[in-house]
């Protein structure tokens, strides 16, 4: 119940309707702690919403990503993957490319990057995206 309330308020704070399908998508992504493809999410949602189409899942995931609620995981196989993290403070993700586990880490080189962009490129930084890929502790063994 608490979890569901949290997901509802995340959607509402961003001006998005907390539809049952969107809430189920967030729940499916969050409980996993691994990144998932739209097909994975679709398979989970089909149990609850008979007849839900894959295009609906694609569209909603895209809207949730554009709304900044879920993150796209970049993968060298070009397949789309998504991940939902409830931590709102600025941080980055370490992605295990073997078991798909996603873990938070706080370290960020923002200040150094801003300084370098300012001095060498004379630009002003507005935002940045950083995803670190590798093998988690278990998979590295
Ligand atoms: Zn996170
Ligand atoms: Zn792993
Ligand atoms: Zn950062």
Work out whether strand 92-96 and strand 131-134 pair parallel, antiparallel, or are unpaired.
Answer: parallel
- Cα–ligand 3 centroid distance for 105 (angstroms): 10
Same domain as 25, residue 93: no
Q: Which residues contact 104 (CB under 8 A, 6 or more apart)?
A: 85, 87, 91, 92, 93, 94
Same domain as 74, residue 21: yes
- pLDDT digit string, tens, across residues 13-57: 778 888 999 999 999 998 888 999 999 999 999 999 999 999 999
Same domain as 127, residue 99: yes
Same domain as 52, residue 17: yes
Same domain as 114, residue 69: no
pTM: 0.83
Element containing residue 22 per DSSP (H, E): helix 20-32
Domain count, the chain: 2
**Contact assessment for residue 16 and residue 35, using Cβ atoms and an 8 Å cutoff:** no
**Contact assessment for residue 95 and residue 35, using Cβ atoms and an 8 Å cutoff:** yes
Domain span at residue 124? 87-141
CATH number at residue 43: 1.10.10.10
Shortest CA distance to 72 belongs to which of 93, 99, 97? 93
CATH number at residue 135: 3.30.1490.190
Same domain as 91, residue 71: no
| Per-residue model confidence (pLDDT) at position 2 | 73
Kindly identify the ligand whose nearest atom is closest to the C-alpha of 134: 2
- pLDDT digit string, tens, across residues 77-112: 889 899 998 888 889 999 999 999 999 999 998 899
- Cα–ligand 1 centroid distance for 103 (angstroms): 7
- pLDDT digit string, tens, across residues 56-79: 999 999 999 998 889 999 888 889
Kindly identify the ligand whose nearest atom is closest to the C-alpha of 107: 3
Same domain as 63, residue 20: yes
């Amino acid at each position: 119940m608490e979890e569901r309330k949290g997901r509802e308020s995340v959607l509402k704070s961003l001006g998005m309707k907390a539809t049952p399908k969107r809430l189920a998508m967030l729940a499916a992504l969050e409980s996993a702690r691994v990144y998932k493809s739209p097909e994975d999410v679709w398979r989970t949602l089909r149990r609850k919403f008979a007849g839900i189409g894959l295009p609906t899942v694609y569209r909603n995931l895209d809207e949730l990503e554009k709304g900044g609620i879920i993150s796209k995981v970049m993968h060298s196989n070009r397949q789309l993957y998504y991940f939902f993290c409830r931590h709102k403070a600025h941080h980055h993700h370490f992605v295990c490319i073997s078991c798909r586990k996603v873990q938070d880490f706080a370290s960020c080189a923002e200040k150094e990057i801003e300084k370098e962009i300012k001095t060498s490129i004379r630009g002003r930084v507005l935002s940045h995206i950083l995803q670190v890929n590798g093998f988690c502790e278990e998979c590295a063994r």
